[in-house]
Amino acid sequence: MTQEIAEKKIINLLQFARKAGKVVTGADACIRELNSRGLRLIVIANDSSDRSVRRIKHQINELDLTTPLMRLGSQEALSNALGVHQTGIYGVKDKQFAARMLEYHSSIANVEEQSAN
């Protein structure tokens, strides 16, 4: 599977999860959900601010969580696809959606590793 196809599949899953009410948007909302241990995955746009990313990582470390982080796309592309205000951080609350997105994301990493060899 190519990187482009995998990214489209991840975005499609994010759209389904949002329609199901399983996505929170923005750093503050994600931090609140992390505090209640309600997030299974955090998707961060590649052009998100370093400060926002540091806040999320700090909260994960403070709470000793294992919530995975995924870098994907741009803030504009993700926000437009999900129909929300422009933000670069999205939290996925559903275990199955998160697992499937991570599966597609790992296929991207495998493709990148193979092309490097």
Residues 4, 100, 47, 29, Cα dihedral to 10° = 150
Q: Say if residues 88 and 48 touch (Cβ distance below 8 Å).
A: yes
Rg value, the chain, Cα: 14
Q: Cα angle vertex 43, ends 90, 87, to 5°?
A: 45
Query: Which pTM does this prediction carry?
Result: 0.89
Q: CATH classification of 3-116 is 3.30.1330.30, yes or no?
A: yes
Model pLDDT for residues 18-59, shown as the tens digit of each residue: 999 999 999 999 999 999 999 999 999 999 999 999 999 999
Determine the pLDDT at residue 80: 96
Model pLDDT for residues 53-82, shown as the tens digit of each residue: 999 999 999 999 999 999 999 999 999 999
Determine the pLDDT at residue 114: 42
User: Would you say residue 88 has pLDDT above 50?
Assistant: yes
